[in-house]
Amino acid sequence: MLTEPERSIPVAGEYDVVICGGGPAGTAAAIAAGRGGAKTIVLESQGCLGGIMTSGMMPKIINGIGKGGFLKELVDRLAALKSEIVNDVCDPESVKYLFERLCEESRVDVRYHTGICHVLLDDGHDGSRIRAVITESKSGREAWIGKLFVDCTGDGDIGRFSGCSVDFGNPETGRMQPSSLCAMVGGVPYDRIPEFVHQGTGKEDERRNLFALFEKLGKPTSYTLPSLFLLDKAGRYIYMSTHQYDVSPFDAGAVTDATIAARKEIYEQIRALNGSPDEVWRPLKLYATADRLGIREGGRIKGLYTVTVDDIREGRRHEDAVCSISAAVDIHATRPSGDSKKAFSDGGIEVSTYDIPLRALISKEVSNLLMAGRCISGDFYAHASYRILGGAVPMGEGAGKYAAWLVKNNFVPSAGTALEFVRTHKTQNGEQEVFHG
C-alpha cells in the first residue's frame, strides 16, 4: 500500500442533482430532473449516453414498448427519426444521438470520460449525506457538489463508496449472473437466415439452431443460446453469444480479462461461421464489439423498501409506485454447462405484475442518495425480473422527477415525501404520471 499525500481537489461544478452514470436509467433521470427545473449533470465514464443500450450494444427494450412516460417519448422520437424498432430492438446510434439531443433540450450538462471513484460525506442532522462525488478523468481529480445524488451506475458504485449496505449475487451461492460482451454483425440478408434469427416468440428454436451450427463447426459458444437480433432486414444484427462467469464488476482486472476473452471468442465465432460449408455465412462481418462488457448484475443498495421474490410472485402493488413490471425472472446460468436448455431459467418463479415503490429507490443509510436501474433495493430473484430496460427507464424517470420536486420544495427523500410526491402528481394530473404499467 502507498499513502497518497493530502491535496485539494478543484470543484468542477455545483448542482441541484448529480446523476452518477448515464445509462438508460441515468439518462432518463437526468432528462426528468432537468425538465423539472433542477440544475442537473450526468457524469459518465464512457463516451456516450445509453449504457447497455449503446456502449453495451444491447438495445432490446423488454417490457417497455407500450408503456407510457419517457419510454413512449423515446419510441415516438425514434420513429420521428425514421429509426426502426424491430422486435423491440432499436438502433444504438440513434439512441446515442437522441439521448444527447434530449439532454440538450432539457438543459442537462453531460460530462463523458469521467469516472466516479470516491465520495465526500458529511454527517448531517439527518445522518450521513454526500457532499460531493470525486471523479477521475483527463482533467485530473475533480469534485462535484450536489444537493441530491442519483446512483445510476448499474453496479451501485455510489452506494459502495458511501459505505451503504449493498447486496450481491445469489444468497445461497454468492454467485452473480454471468456477463456477456455484445456485438454488431452484418452482411447476410435476413431472408437468407430466418431460422437462425431470434424471433422473440418465447420459443428458443432459432437460438438452438445457431448453437447446433456452432457445435457442428467445433466452436460451441459459451452462451449456449447464441442470439442474432435483427436490426434491419438488409442484414444488420445485434449478436450475443458469450457468457463470462464469476466476473466481479468491482474488479477492473477481472472485467478486463473477461472482455478480452469474450472479444476473442466473438471474433473466432464469426470466422468459424465464415468457414462454414453453408456459403450463406461467407459474407458475415463483425462490424463492432461493444465498448464495455455487459454486466447483468452488480450491487443492490439497501433502500427504505426492498423488492423481494414474494412481492413479484404475489404481484404486490404500492401507493408510491414508480412503475410496474411484468417481466419474467431471467437468471442466466452462473456456471458453464454446455447445454442450451440450461442457458437461463426463471428459477421456478411465476411473476404477477408488481410495482416498484419509490421507497426502493431511496437509500436507507445516506440521506441524499437515490438509486435507479439495476442497483435499486431488491433481492436476487426480484432483480432478475426488474433488471430490464422497461424497468430501468421508468425508474430513472421517476427518480429524476422526484429529485427535482424535492429540490424545488426543499424536502429530503423519505417514505413520507415519496408518498406525497406520488399523491401530488395524482392530484395534479388526474392520474399517477409516474406510473407506466
Ligand X SMILES: Cc1cc2nc3c(=O)[nH]c(=O)nc-3n(C[C@H](O)[C@H](O)[C@H](O)COP(=O)(O)OP(=O)(O)OC[C@H]3O[C@@H](n4cnc5c(N)ncnc54)[C@H](O)[C@@H]3O)c2cc1C
Q: Which residues bind ligand X (CB under 6 A)?
A: 21-26, 43-46, 51-52, 56, 58, 60-62, 115-116, 152-155, 157, 180, 182, 240, 294-296, 373-374, 387-390, 392
CB of 211 to ligand X, least distance (A): 17
Residue placing its CB nearer to ligand X in the complex, 155 or 397: 155
Q: Which is nearer to ligand X, 281 or 434 (CB)?
A: 434
Shortest Å, Cβ 294 to ligand X: 3
CB of 38 to ligand X, least distance (A): 19
Q: What is the closest distance, in whole angstroms, from the C-beta atom of residue 11 to ligand X in the complex?
A: 18
What's the closest the beta carbon of residue 346 comes to ligand X, in angstroms?
15
Strand partners, 313: none
Residue 76 CB coordination number (10 Å): 10
Determine the straight-line distance between the first and last CA of the chain, rounded to whole angstroms.
50
Which CB, 111 or 281, lies closer to ligand X? 111
Q: Distance between CA atoms of 93 and 287, rounded to whole angstroms?
A: 13
Cell 493530502, residue located: 6
Judge contact between 244 and 180, C-beta under 8 A: yes
Q: Quote the least distance from Cβ 112 to ligand X, whole Å.
A: 9
- CA–CA separation, 22 and 44 (whole Å): 5
The angle subtended at Cα 182 by Cα 178 and Cα 184, nearest 5°, is 165
User: For residues 26 and 169, which CB has a smaller minimum distance to ligand X in the complex?
Assistant: 26
DSSP per residue over 170-181, as a string? -TTT-PPPPBB-
CB closer to ligand X, 38 vs 388: 388
Amino acid at 287: Y
**Which residue, 281 or 386, is less far from ligand X as judged by CB?**
386
User: What's the CA gap between 30 and 38, in Å, rounded?
Assistant: 9
How far, in Å, CA of 30 to CA of 15, rounded? 12
